[in-house]
Each structure stands twice: as structure tokens, then as C-alpha cells.
Structure 1
Amino acid sequence: MKNRKFHFCVILFLSMIPVVASGQKQNTRSHQNFDANWKFSLGNAADAKRDFDYGIGNIFSKSGETAGTCIATDFKDSTWANVRLPHDWVVALPFQYVKNDDIDSHGYKPVGALFPQNSIGWYRKTFTVNKADSGKRYEIQFDGIYRDSKVWLNGYYIGGHSSGYNSFAFDITDFIKFGKSNVMVVRADATQSEGWFYEGAGIYRHAWLNSYNNVHFKTAGGLFAHAEVADGKAQVKIEADIENRGINAAAATLYSYITDRDGKIIAKGKQIPFTEAIRENKLLVDEMTIINPRLWSLDDAYLYRAVSLIKANGQTIDSINVKFGVRTFKFDSEKGFFLNGKPLKVQGVSCHQDHAGVGSALPDELQYYRIRLLKEMGVNAYRTTHNPPTPELLDACDSLGMLVMDETRLLTSGQEYEQQYRDLILRDRNHASIFMWSIGNEEYVTQRTDIGKRIAQNQILLQQQLDPTRTSTYAANMGNVYRGVNEVIPVRGFNYNLLGIDAYHKEHPLQPIIGTEVASTVTTRSIYVKDTVRAYVPDYDVTFPSWASTAETWWKIADARPWFMGGFAWTGFDYRGEPTPYRWPNINSHFGIMDMCGFPKNVYYYYQSWWTDKDILHIAPHWNWKGKEGKPIDVWVNTNADDVELYLNGKSLGKKEMPRNSHLVWTVNYEPGKLVAVAHKKGKVITAKVETTGAPYSIVLSPSKKILTANGEDAVVINASVVDKNGREVPDALNMLHFDIKGDAQIIGVGNGDPSSHEADKCLPGQWQRSLFGGKAQLIVLSGMQAGSFTVVASGAGIKSNQLPIIQK
């Protein structure tokens, strides 16, 4: 009996010593990009034989028994396509007209229950893991798979995930063959849609292979750094969520510190010893102070780094590094929104996540490109409608200085969707750019009810528990209604219905108000006459659906009310699907302030006039109107100048004062030549012109950058236009352009912003082409792996070609 007690004590003592596998080095955590070298094939949602026997092969009856299916490790996938993630298979499908509301709302792409042959996608990847690393834990992380995905490794089912938007991860340690080939298989089922807009399909965001010690920071929310600012100091709280997945209990120490942008340590935490039982999770908290912190702001997006280490036996067995910002938010029901103690009107846009040419599978550079375009317009806030964004979008907003309203997919608190909201907050809460969470959007059935109120209360409490540093709102299209969700939501969100906000504010003076969705002007870039055949609307701020308003209407309301925090215009960019006000042949929305390529429409210059201090003077339309000589043309001028005088071929058409938050209009009888605007702004003279051009003569290529990283992941956006013999851009050119690459790079998508174009976004190698629309087209090029340079070649019938060299390092 005494011996048994002695042995028990020895076992207990030994179990408190953490196991560090031989060969492990300090800082053993890795976050390896897993995008390359996937194989892809369509399956079939209605025919099991064409779906590689999925549904008739009994793959769930015995663990690891998948023989005869494409899940088996020995399956021959040599005929499958080679793809690199992110990958959206829907964007390559042809457009197809079907009289069906769901197909219409998703942009007439043949995917969903009506098209079973296009709605299942299979992915396979073969990889190896060094035998020397067998002491680590391994995890596969997907930042987004659309949709209803299932994952296998070496024939073993790892798990499934229904959401098309949330990131998720699975521990795969038990299923890895160390030192041998491993086969990962993913099935994505896009039969059931989640939204009413283009969603794409496939592994359309990044994938990662994570490895770490058995005692480690959790992947979801493992480190949360946030600060309170007062008296010239930032009190930073660092919360570490540590997990023990080893076979023994563990004793270790947590140590944290903060660095500036350059890596210099500016604050040190305590050495915090801790023990964890087997399978235990423990939350440890440390605090430290930054003296005279540099505040994150729109113009100075400064990010600190919080670094936390887990140490045992004299080694660092895990470490984690997160960026965070020091800033303050205030939401005042009478004075509006404050950033770092200064009032700030929210000049926001709502955006879906797709882009011309690539669908939902955007290279990271495109996220930065789109945010830079928005900032240039004067946008200071971005709403992620209506789903969790890709992490790289938030990285772009963090580093470029853009506030974010981060929105979950659905307003519901069932176990699955509560977990999705939990995962969203844990993943994103370190991002400096996020100033508010959104618990949902326009839930017609639920939002007015007591059930909606209870759901909202649950989600609000969850948010406050996981992230007490921020608040939340809900995008309600309810007008002046204080019922259901609106009874409990901290910040009342208005989707349209702005004529009721004065009464609502008077009746509920303690509830801050923001326009979660406003405007919805519909315009077609470069088109100035309504065209019901081709489904175009004029590129003036005049046309809008019954529920919405012009840009000018909503902004005048917002700017005149200090307590109204501002809002999010619908939308920053056109997006595939939800065609409005027309349907086929229209295949994408007209709501964008910019088109699907990011080319500005005229309403862009209205916002830029009143959302920036830049000298803005813009004339619309262009002045190529052959056949309309002597007929009246409405000429709009957007500017923030004090006055404008318009001249046609040297003759004054009159001078007008510029009302605040408005625009100017002249009706001009057309004659070819030059239309010039001369404006005065605080004593300074500003000029702008449009003029009649000649025929297209040569191609111009304008890259978003001229140097790429040779990693197979970097990208460049190249905009194409044509000029006449005098070098003037031809604004109404429709030429077909052909594109090619000489060197180690590849074109991955083309577009032109035409909302009724049925030309392919994806072309076969050597056959890339796109017609100009309104004188513009766009191609997106992905970098190769070889340093040096490559050349983009553009040509067209009857016009001078162009070659653009791009350096690759």
C-alpha cells in the first residue's frame, strides 16, 4: 500500500513536467502558406457516379476506409486541373439566363440546385511533413470555403464546416504520416446559397498549415491586446488563451512585451508561471504601460506589436505576435462619433467581396488596391456586407487607415451561428481598424419581434464578453420603429428611411444613430442616356430604387446633424449579382460609386468633393457626341470650389455659385470642341476640361505598381485605355484588346466594368482578351517565382500595341 502511494506521487510529479520533443527549437510555431499545388475537379450534386461515388461509397462506416473514391490516398488525380488558392470556380463559368430569382440575384452564373453539375468542387493536395517534427501539433486552417465543406486527410474524415465565410481550423496531428506523402481532400458544396448576391464557390481564401507545441496559444483568440488611454498613457491589457494538448500536465511561464513598429521593445510584462492539466485551457492576463502612445488614426495608421512567449525548461516552446492599435472610440447620442477624442463623421461605404476577373478569389494586393481607391475618394469607413471578411482586407484597413464595421452573416443565436459570431470576434478583435461590430442585416421576419430582441440580446452579451472594448449595431430597415432588435441594440443602425431619423432621435435621445446603409444610387459608368435594351442607367446622381435616395440627399441629411454619426453608402463598388433596376442582360449591380474594376463613376466626384479637402473639379459627360450636334446635353460639375464658370470653345456659358454638398448643372447645345470649367477656391483658380477626341490610335497600360515580389502570390492591377493621335484618352472607345505575358507571370482575370457584358472573366492561355467599355478595361496579373522581369503585351485591331515591363524581385 505504501509503495502504491509512492508510485502515484512519482507519476503525479512527472506529469507536471511539460514534454518538449527532441529536435524542437525555440520559437517552434509556424504558419505556413498552403495555397500552392492543389488539384481540382468539379463533382456533381445529383449524380453520385459523377461525384466520385460520394453518397454511394460508404466512407463514413469505418474510419479511414475510402477505397475506390477520390478521397483515397491512391486515387489518380492526374487529369484534374492544377490550381493555386485562392480559387473560385464559379467566376470561370459562362453566364446563363434562367428565369429564377436566385439565379438572378447571383449574377446568372449556373451554380446551385438547378445546376448540380457545377455545384460540387473537389480539391486534393499532396504534401510531406518532416519526420523530425513529429513532436509538434499540426492544424489545417482555412480562411474561407464556399460552401458546406468537408475535409479528409489520408482517408480519415477530419471535419466539416457549413459557413461559406468564417475561418475555421482542424487539428490534424493524429492523421499525419511523418516523412511520407500525405493527401488532403476537400469537398465544397455550393448547392445551397447563403446570400442574395454573387458568392462564388471553392477554397476562395487562403489556407495555412500551422504547427506548434503541445502547450500553445490557441489559434482562435490566443492573444488579445487592447488599451485604455488616459493622461498621456496607454494601459495595455494582454490576454493569453493557452491550451495544453499534451499527454502530461504542464508547468511553464508566460512572458509578454510590446514593441514599436520597428521592433524596439517599449514595455515589458511580468514572468507569469502557470500549470495546466491535460486538456486544460487557461486564460492569463498581463498589463503594461506605453508612455505617450502614438495613436492609430486615419492619417497615421500606427500599429504596435504585442509579443507573448511560453517558456519551459529554459526554452521558448511557443510564441505569438499580434499587431494592435492604440486609439479611443466614443459614440455620443448628441454629438456623434469621436475617434481619439475628435469628432469624426463616418464617410463610409458598404462592399461585397468580389472583383472583376477574379470573382471572390482576390489576391491580397487587390484588397489593398481597393482600399486605396476608397481612401482617395475620401472614404473613412468600410462595412463588410453581409458576412465576415477575409483577414487580408482587415490587414489593409489596419495599415492604410480605414475604419471597419465588421458584420456577421446572420442574426441568429442558435449554437452554430452563435459559434460563428464567436469565431469572428476572436479572429478579428486585434484589428485596430474595427470600431464596431454588426450583428446582422435586414432580417425582415425576425427584427421586429420579441424573438429578434432575445437573439440580439444574446449576441450583444457575447460580443461584450469577448470584446468589451467595442460596441455593436444592427442594420435595420425598419424606419422609425423601436421594437424587437432596436430595443436592445447599443447603436441604432438605419438602413435608408432617413426621413424618420429626426423623430426617432427625439423619441430616443440616449441611443446613438448611424446610417448602416444609405443612398443606393444606380448608375452605369460612361453611359448618359437610359438604355433599357442593354440595361444601362445614366451616369448622373438621379436614379434610385423606391427604398433609397441619391447620394446628395443622404449626405445633406448626415452633414447637417451632429448627432447623426454618418453612414455607409451602398456600395463602394459594383458587385456581381443583385442586378438593379434591370435584370438580364444585366448581370451585376449598378449601385457602386465605382464599377467592378474600381473605375470611378461620376458620383465618385460628388463624394470626393465633400469628403476631402482636395481641389476637386470634375465635368461630366465626356464630349464625344457625334450625331447630336445642336442638341442639348446636361453638363454636371462636381466641385468643392466657391464658384464655377463654364466655357464652350472659349465662349462663357455662365458663372454659378457652388452650394455646399450639392452640384452644378448647365444645359449645353452640343458642338464638338472643348468644354472648360474655371473655378475659384479660396482665391485659387482651378481648371478642368473635356474635349472631343479623335479615333483610338494607341493603347495605354497603367499598372498599380511596377515592382512585384517573386513569390507566386503578389499581383498587379493593370488598367488599359486608348488615346488618339494627340494623346487624349478616348472615353467612349469599345475596342477589343488582346493581352499576353512574356516571362514568369500569369494573367488571372480581365474585366471592363460593363454591367451587361457576358464576356469571359477567365480565358484560356494565349487567348486573353477584353473589350473596352467607356474607354477602359482591366487585367490582373499574378507574379511568378523567378526574379527578373516580365512584359505585359496589349494589342488590338487597327491600333498601336503597347508593352509594359514589370520588375519581379
Structure 2
Amino acid sequence: MKTKLFAFLLLLACFSTHAATRERLSLDRGWLFHQGDIVQPPIVGHEESYSNAKAGSAGGAAANEYDDSDWRRLNLPHDWAVEGPFDPKANVAQGYRPRGIGWYRRYLRVDPADRGKHFELQFDAIATHATVWVNGNVVKHNWSGYNASYIDITPFLRYGDAMNTIAIRVDAQAMEGWWYEGAGMYRHSWLVKRSPLHVVTDGVHSTPRQIKGQQWSIPVEVTLNNSGKQAGDVVVEVTVYDPSGKQVAQRTASAHVNVLATDTVQLPVTINNPSLWSLEKTNLYRVSTRVLQAGRVLDEVSLNTGFRTIRFDAAQGFFLNGVHVKLQGVCIHQDHAGVGVAVPDSVWEYRLRRLKEMGVNAIRFSHNAPAAEVLDMVDRMGFVVMDENRNFNPSEDYMKQLEWMVKRDRHHPGVILWSVFNEEPVQATEVGYEMARRMSAAVKALDDTRPVTAAMNGGFLTELNVSHAVDVVGSNYQVPDYDRFHKAHPDKPFTSSEDTSAFMTRGEYKTVKDKNLIASYDDDAAQWGNTHRDAWEAIATRPYVAGGFVWTGFDYRGEPTPNEWPSVSSVFGIMDLNGFPKTAYYIHQVQWIKDRPLIHIAPHWNWKQGDNVRVMVMANIERIKLLLNGRELGEQKADPYRMNNFNVVFEPGKLEAIGYNGGKEVVRTAVETTGAPVRLELLPDRAQLAGDGRDAMPITVRALDAQGRAVPLADNEVTFAVSGGGRSIGHGNGDPNSHEDEKGPTRRLFNGLAQLIVQTDYDSKDAIAVSASAAGLQPAQISIPVRQVAAQPYVAEADAPLTFVRSWRIAPDGDQRPDPNQKLASFDMNTWGWGSPPMRAAAGSKYHLYRASFTPRKNLADGSGRIRFAAIRGKAEIWLNGTLIGKKDSFAAGALDVPLPAGAGKREINVLLEAEPGQGVGIEGNVTIEAAR
């Protein structure tokens, strides 16, 4: 028996040594939402004024016991702006979508066994400004819609059934940009539970450095915090694993962290001959940090990083691992068809995959830090990134936003540039220089391994300007000044940070101004910009220009330049809002991909007999031959910058383009004249989905003719039905002038295409059935398998809680029975005491009086509610608004259940207790207002 007990204890000890206590739990489920502001009535009375200034006493929708029973229940991420109708009176820059104010609330039960742990709320982003309350206490004011909020809520928590209330007021009237920004809690939210002595969020700095040759160092720096009640001595252990999972380095150091203090530990580790991260081979190393005390793991954090060198050369551009790389980049905003800015992670993966297929190797997330999950994808998929700060301002609140971005993102090998701003009016002045100088210094204090840039749209040739405060000069457009700047500053690295701004409407090949349609031949650009072909030629033919970032990779809502209403989204994109390609996609693809022959034709081949059609052929080979119905129309040398154009008189049939290298055919493509649409087709992006409630998939919707060919001009209205283990979360068609409901059951095809996005339900295992129907066409149905997966750890949803009667006034004790309904002057804050259950009075006095107020929820106003006392010690009388409604005749501690009379509005409750001689009394458990059982 002793042997078995010893073995069990040994096993338990081993388990406790390796079991980290940190839990990062998804908080996306079970939020309540109200669109519109809820304004608290003015505070005018003595008591209201006094109480308003006290901890935990927030009023209105921020109050603990606010009645939110009629609010909408939803899961995050959520963008309420995309759900609303378009309004021609709303802001053109925001895509004519009204935004306004919204409120979110959520209830949180904390297990008493977790008392003593450190609790942190994490909101990855909220659009736009937000105020957060926990249990009636303001815990955060956030002044940007693009940065995360990390909130220590440990001191405010209640445990057990005394539910915690999170309330968030979102001000989406505030604007930070001139594009669609959405509204609401559009990224993920989390609850992090960890040991009181722990690694702070973003507290591991692990950016590798090359020492010499193949010898590298990761000068790991770990920041610890101790929210506990006693100082702690710990060992910090850093372990590095290579891409195969093999341990390649380990280092430990001791730390002493005082109570409510932080400490930083340095643990440099050396790595010899690491596998380098590159665009082609995205080798990622895992850095695991553990905090141990007496052999027990208190906390553990893991993150990925990569070994690579970057260099911007003033004469030759950008080098990655010593190899010259031209930055073939795009700028992108963060909204997508159907979902607004609440883009599921898997749809982000789809967007990045579309860019990769086009030949993109660089992304500028304009003009803000992206979601953390997106940068993880960037590292895995092989992109380099310009990580951009939103607000140009070195004052305290805004400097914190910049520092947050650098701390969060500095471990990512894909990040190669920190950008402190985009197009600031003071960029050419001493003021701009001084502001940029301070922000650049703040970046370098946190990470000096990457250069700092700023996206300037002019002013870099003045005597003192922002370009003197950054490492790499970023130019937005300004093509005529490229050579002038390089000649004036031949030792300053230079890149296009934004270029092009050309206009195309997907699938349109005739410009119709009165319909806000722009032909997709790359002939039209903003007055400040260039066509796709001109912009890239200016970059590609100048070795000193590190590369470029096309405005933009995708269309985005708002900023419908050069149009206004009824246009509601931009037409700058290489792809439309769905990720469907325009002609620009193929122009860049043949310019940027060199490892295989490519050829494309624009436009489609559905015209009228005798029409003169301009045919653009895009190819990355030597020569091009064009044939119509087998008849040769001409042959041209392929032009890598201008592309190739042919004038062709339309006749129905097949138009073919053949590409040759060295006189041999290496690639061909064709477009054909189609018949009328006869049936619909659904093309899922992937073969299956994960049943985790988060995985989502775009499905392409198109119409086919009798021969199974996609009809490029189809505009049928399609009705969708989704059932089984998922649901529709939105749809789009790429039409910048469409005002259709993106969440409704129907969507019209635009130039032959639409896109439906489906998402799995939480804990789903059933396949998702999707059907599409249109008048006069054969419908389409598909079944998408759903793979069962382990649920992501999450905080359980909580139903609307009981109303807790928490804040009580306590009358002076006495031996004479008091009037339970006696008046107390509203300005008297001191004669009676204050308390919350449990409230106990020691033996001595005979009578004890407690008073509180509450407002029952609307569903209990009909008399169906109960007032429940979990435990009262002593005899009791319960008075409500001056009327005796219940009694307890026993001195012994026990529960009491009293009917709640019908009525609405605020109620005053008085509890008169009589003590047994020599015994104490009190309200010893929670007091709740709830429905009758």
C-alpha cells in the first residue's frame, strides 16, 4: 500500500511540475448587444451624486443590474455597421453606412477555486473608441479602433454565483480614417487566467540577431509581474525549438519579484547555423518561456520567431538574407464582402492566399496594425510586412498605441518595416520632424533590428522634414520626384510606400460615367496616381527603389473615388471585395511571377457581331500569338510593362492566345462566347470545414450555360439557403454600386459572379448544406463536410443573471424596535453604514435594520418574481416600499423566499432583524431577485 501511495505521489509531483497554470480562454461567445446609445438621466440629488462617485456605482447600461433582457444575443467578432442599410446622407468615406453608438454586455462567472489568480481581459480591437466597465467600475478608455486592450480585472472580481458584469460602450461616430472602419467588437476577445506571478502580455522580447557568420543570438528579455500578496523567487527558463520541434537551446535565470511590482530578466541564447526564414522557406522557431517556483510551473508562454537578415540599400534596394528582393507589394484595408471588418481568420487566410497566387511578396497593412492572427499567417505563408501605426502623435495616449504595436509584433520575422504614419500634413515641417523623431526613438527603444519609415506623400525635399527622422524614406506616389530625391540624398534608402491608385470595375470593359462604371483596361487613374503599368515600370526600372505597394490589393468599402453616391465602395482594388480578380490581377501576376509561363486574355468574348473589341493579352513569355476560331490575327513580342493590345472585330467563337519561348509554345489560354445561363454552380473554396464555430469559407456562385461554361455577364438574382452544421454570415458580388443587404437571403450576380460565406456552428459535426436558386435556372446544391475538432478553450456563456441586491445601508444597532420605514435624509451619508452581503452583526443589540434599493427586470414586473435570501440569521421582517411582504419567525440561520409584488421601477427594501439573546444576526448570503421556480 505504501509503495502504491508513493508512486501516486510521485506521479502527482511530476504532473504539477509540468502543468502550466495559464489559460487563454475565448470570450467570443454569449455577448448581448444594443445598437444606439443609452443615456443615463442627469444626476441631481444628494444621494445620487454621492453614490455616482463611488467605486462600482456606474449607472445606466454600465450598471451591474441593468436590465438587458431584451438585448440581442450574438457572438464575436461583430460589425454592426455592415448590418445596416445604406444612407445617402451618411459619410461617403465610410461607404454611406451609418455607425453611431452601441453597447455590449456579458456576464462572467468565476470559480471560487480561481481566487488568487491574475485575470486579464483582452479585446483585440473595438471600432472605434470604447469605454469598458467591470462590475460598475470603469477599467479602460481606449482611443483607437485598431489596438488591443489588456485589462487587469483581478481587483474587481466576484466569485461563485455572484456574477460579474462586463459592459462596453462603443463610440463608432469617432473616425480615425477616411475609409470604412466598421463598428463594434470586430476582433476576438479573451479572458486570460494565470498565476499571480506571471509573464506580462507581450512580455517576451525574442527577436534574433546575427552575431557573425552562422552564429546567432536571441537576446530574450522576459518581463514578470506579481499581483500576489507576497514576494516571489522564481526561475525563468527559456527553451528554443527548431522547425522540426527539436530543442536547440536553453537558458535559465533567477528573479525576485516584489508584491505588485514588475521585474525584467535577460536570458540571451546562442543558436548556431539556424535554418533561415525566407519568402520561400518559412522556417519558424518556437521560443518557450516558463516561470518555475520550487519546480512547479507558474506560467508558460510560447511564440514563434525566425532567423533572417534584412537590409535596405540606398543604391540597390531591399535584401533578405543577403539576396536582393524587389518588394512586390500591396496595401490592404481589413474589410471583406458580407462581413465588414469582422473577418473570420480563415477568410483572412483566403485573402492572403489570393495575394500569394498573384505573386505578392510584401503587404502594407494600411493604415493600422492588423489582427495578431493575420501576422501569424504572414509568417507561415511567406510575406514581408510594413507594420503601420495609425495615429501620428507622440503624446502619451497615442505613444502607447505605437509601443503596443511594436511589443506585440516584434517577434514576427515577416515584419521588416515600422511605419509611424501615412500622409501627414506636417510631414514637410520642423513640427513633423520633431514628432517623427520622438516616435522613431520610441520604436528603437523597443526594437532596433528593423528600420523605421513613414509614408510621405510629398515634402521630402524641404530643408527639414520627416525623411530626416526615419531610416527608410517611404513615398506615396510622387513618381516625378523619385530621381530628384535619390540625386539629392544618394545615401538614403528609398521605397514606394504607396503607388498606383488606378480605377477598374470588375468585369466592365466600357466606361459608363452616368452609371459609375470604369473599364478594366488600366487606362484610368487618380490625378495623383498612375496606372498599374506605369507605376510598376517606374519602380521596376529604378534599382534604388526597394519596391512598391499598390493601392490596393482589394476593393474596400468607402472612399469610392472618383465617384460618389450611389457608389459605396472603392474601385482601386486589384481584386474586388470578394477577392475576385480584375484585369489588374493578371497584369501584376505576369510581372511578378517568373518561375512558370503565364498568359491571360481580357475581356470576355460575349459581344455583338461586328463590335470592335480591344483585346489585352498579359504574359510573362517572349512572344504572343492571337487566334480567333483558329484563324491567326497577329503576333507580337510580349511587353513586360505595357502588356499587349490587339483590335479585333468580334465574331462568336473562341479567342485564343498562345505564348512562346525560344520559338516553342509553352502556354495558351482562351475565352469563348457562351450561351444564355441555364444553371447555377457553387464552388467552395476548400473541401471541408472545422466544426469549431470559427472556421468559415467563401463559396463562389456563378451561372453556367448549356455547355457548362461560366456566363460572364450573368446578373440573375440568387436566393440562398444554408442548413445543417453552419450558417451564412454574409455575401457580396463586387458591384461597387450595389445596395443589397449583405446579410439577407438574396444576392444578384454581378458580371457573372457572387460570393456566399458560410461558417460552422460551435461544436458542429453535421455537414453544411448550401443551396442556390434563381428564376429560370437549374438550382445548385452542395454539402460541405464538417470535421469534428476539439473546441477552443472558452468561457462558458452565461444567461441573463439574477438581480443581486448588493449595496445596503446599515442602521445603527439598538435594543428598541426601530421604524423599518423611517426616513433618512438624502444628504446623510454617515449616520447609517454601508455594506454588501454577507453582513453580520455581533451579539449585543437586539434589533438591526438594513436598507437597499433595486429595479427588477421587466420580465418580473407582473408579480412572477421572488426575493430570495440565501441565508438570514435572526428573526426577520421584509418591507418593500413601505409594505410588509414577508417574515421569518426563527432565530436560526435559514433561507427566505418572498414573493415580489407586481410593479415596475425602482423598489426600496428594508430588512428588520431581531437577534436571539447573546447571538449575532445578519444577512449571511446573497439577496437575489429572480423568477419563481
Normalising by the smaller structure, the TM-score range is over 0.9
Looking at structure 2, the residues matched to 124 and 287 of structure 1 have their Cα atoms a distance apart, in angstroms, of: 44
Looking at structure 1, the residues matched to 687 and 63 of structure 2 have their Cα atoms a distance apart, in angstroms, of: 44
What aligned pairs does 1:289-328 form with structure 2 within 5 A after superposition?
A: 289-328=270-309
Deviation at 1:223, TM superposition (A): 3.9
Question: Is 1:110 equivalent to 2:110 in the alignment?
Answer: no
Which of 312, 323, 342 is the matching residue for 1:361?
A: 342
Say if 2:534 and 2:641, in contact at 8 Å, map to a contact too. no
What aligned pairs does 1:363-762 form with structure 2 within 5 A after superposition?
A: 363-444=344-425, 446-478=426-458, 481-482=461-462, 483-613=464-594, 614-625=596-607, 628-682=608-662, 683-762=664-743
Identity value in percent: 39
Question: Is 1:806 equivalent to 2:784 in the alignment?
Answer: yes
Deviation at 1:754, TM superposition (A): 0.4
Which of 56, 62, 68 is the matching residue for 1:77?
A: 68
Deviation at 1:215, TM superposition (A): 1.3
SS state of the match for residue 219, structure 1? strand
Looking at structure 1, the residues matched to 43 and 416 of structure 2 have their Cα atoms a distance apart, in angstroms, of: 45
Deviation at 1:52, TM superposition (A): 5.8
Say if 1:217 and 1:223, in contact at 8 Å, map to a contact too. no
Deviation at 1:262, TM superposition (A): 4.2
Deviation at 1:229, TM superposition (A): 5.7
CA RMSD of aligned residues (A): 1.7
SS state of the match for residue 644, structure 1? strand
Question: Against the structure 1 CA distance between its residues 367 and 52, is the aligned structure 2 distance closer, same or farther, given a 3 Å change threshold?
Answer: farther
476-485 vs 133-142, which moves further = 476-485
- Residue matched to 1:64: 56
Structure 2 segments unaligned to the other structure (5+ residues): 1-15, 788-933
SS state of the match for residue 656, structure 1? strand
Looking at structure 2, the residues matched to 543 and 624 of structure 1 have their Cα atoms a distance apart, in angstroms, of: 23
Looking at structure 1, the residues matched to 648 and 542 of structure 2 have their Cα atoms a distance apart, in angstroms, of: 36
Looking at structure 1, the residues matched to 200 and 259 of structure 2 have their Cα atoms a distance apart, in angstroms, of: 15
Deviation at 1:156, TM superposition (A): 2.2
Looking at structure 2, the residues matched to 380 and 329 of structure 1 have their Cα atoms a distance apart, in angstroms, of: 14
Deviation at 1:30, TM superposition (A): 1.2
Looking at structure 2, the residues matched to 335 and 782 of structure 1 have their Cα atoms a distance apart, in angstroms, of: 46
Deviation at 1:604, TM superposition (A): 0.6
Which of 116, 129, 135 is the matching residue for 2:110?
A: 129
SS state of the match for residue 221, structure 1? strand
Question: Against the structure 1 CA distance between its residues 246 and 481, is the aligned structure 2 distance closer, same or farther, given a 3 Å change threshold?
Answer: same
Which of 33, 43, 61 is the matching residue for 1:40?
A: 33
Say if 2:597 and 2:666, in contact at 8 Å, map to a contact too. no
Deviation at 1:25, TM superposition (A): 8.4
Deviation at 1:157, TM superposition (A): 2.1
SS state of the match for residue 271, structure 2? strand
Which of 248, 251, 256 is the matching residue for 1:275?
A: 256
Looking at structure 2, the residues matched to 125 and 466 of structure 1 have their Cα atoms a distance apart, in angstroms, of: 35
SS state of the match for residue 667, structure 1? strand
- Residue matched to 2:223: 241
**Larger CA Rg, structure 1 vs 2:** 2
Say if 1:704 and 1:717, in contact at 8 Å, map to a contact too. yes
Say if 1:261 and 1:304, in contact at 8 Å, map to a contact too. yes
Say if 2:501 and 2:550, in contact at 8 Å, map to a contact too. yes
- Residue matched to 2:247: 265
Question: Is 1:186 equivalent to 2:145 in the alignment?
Answer: no
- Residue matched to 1:177: 158
AA partner of residue 183 (structure 2)? A
Looking at structure 1, the residues matched to 43 and 650 of structure 2 have their Cα atoms a distance apart, in angstroms, of: 67
Which of 735, 748, 751 is the matching residue for 1:771?
A: 748
SS state of the match for residue 256, structure 2? strand
Say if 2:205 and 2:410, in contact at 8 Å, map to a contact too. no
Question: Is 1:796 equivalent to 2:793 in the alignment?
Answer: no
Looking at structure 1, the residues matched to 555 and 650 of structure 2 have their Cα atoms a distance apart, in angstroms, of: 31
Say if 1:229 and 1:328, in contact at 8 Å, map to a contact too. no
AA partner of residue 393 (structure 1)? V
Deviation at 1:278, TM superposition (A): 2.3
Question: Against the structure 1 CA distance between its residues 55 and 801, is the aligned structure 2 distance closer, same or farther, given a 3 Å change threshold?
Answer: farther
Deviation at 1:390, TM superposition (A): 1.2
Residues 193-230 of structure 1: CA deviation (Å, up to 9, x unaligned): 11110001101110000111111111133443423263
- Residue matched to 1:47: none
Looking at structure 2, the residues matched to 170 and 426 of structure 1 have their Cα atoms a distance apart, in angstroms, of: 16
Say if 1:479 and 1:496, in contact at 8 Å, map to a contact too. no
SS state of the match for residue 514, structure 2? coil
Which of 720, 740, 760 is the matching residue for 1:783?
A: 760
Residues 536-564 of structure 1: CA deviation (Å, up to 9, x unaligned): 11011110011000111121121112211
Say if 1:479 and 1:500, in contact at 8 Å, map to a contact too. no
Looking at structure 2, the residues matched to 485 and 522 of structure 1 have their Cα atoms a distance apart, in angstroms, of: 30
Deviation at 1:803, TM superposition (A): 1.2
Looking at structure 2, the residues matched to 149 and 549 of structure 1 have their Cα atoms a distance apart, in angstroms, of: 39
- Residue matched to 1:347: 328
Which of 54, 63, 83 is the matching residue for 1:92?
A: 83
Deviation at 1:712, TM superposition (A): 0.7
- Residue matched to 2:854: none
- TM-score, length of structure 1 as denominator length: 0.92
SS state of the match for residue 400, structure 2? helix
Looking at structure 2, the residues matched to 347 and 60 of structure 1 have their Cα atoms a distance apart, in angstroms, of: 56
Deviation at 1:421, TM superposition (A): 0.4
Looking at structure 2, the residues matched to 246 and 219 of structure 1 have their Cα atoms a distance apart, in angstroms, of: 17
Looking at structure 2, the residues matched to 595 and 505 of structure 1 have their Cα atoms a distance apart, in angstroms, of: 35
SS state of the match for residue 78, structure 2? coil
Looking at structure 1, the residues matched to 725 and 33 of structure 2 have their Cα atoms a distance apart, in angstroms, of: 23
Question: Is 1:209 equivalent to 2:201 in the alignment?
Answer: no
Say if 1:147 and 1:201, in contact at 8 Å, map to a contact too. yes
Looking at structure 1, the residues matched to 141 and 398 of structure 2 have their Cα atoms a distance apart, in angstroms, of: 15
Residues 642-672 of structure 1: CA deviation (Å, up to 9, x unaligned): 1111112222111111123230001111122
Looking at structure 2, the residues matched to 303 and 54 of structure 1 have their Cα atoms a distance apart, in angstroms, of: 57
Looking at structure 1, the residues matched to 209 and 361 of structure 2 have their Cα atoms a distance apart, in angstroms, of: 22
Looking at structure 2, the residues matched to 303 and 236 of structure 1 have their Cα atoms a distance apart, in angstroms, of: 13
Say if 2:496 and 2:548, in contact at 8 Å, map to a contact too. yes
Say if 1:479 and 1:498, in contact at 8 Å, map to a contact too. no
AA partner of residue 87 (structure 1)? H
Residues 511-531 of structure 1: CA deviation (Å, up to 9, x unaligned): 000000011111000011111
SS state of the match for residue 800, structure 1? coil
Structure 1 segments unaligned to the other structure (5+ residues): 1-22, 45-49, 112-118
Looking at structure 1, the residues matched to 712 and 549 of structure 2 have their Cα atoms a distance apart, in angstroms, of: 30
Question: Against the structure 1 CA distance between its residues 55 and 617, is the aligned structure 2 distance closer, same or farther, given a 3 Å change threshold?
Answer: farther
- TM-score, length of structure 2 as denominator length: 0.80
AA partner of residue 653 (structure 2)? G
Looking at structure 2, the residues matched to 560 and 175 of structure 1 have their Cα atoms a distance apart, in angstroms, of: 61
Deviation at 1:188, TM superposition (A): 0.3
Question: Is 1:220 equivalent to 2:212 in the alignment?
Answer: no
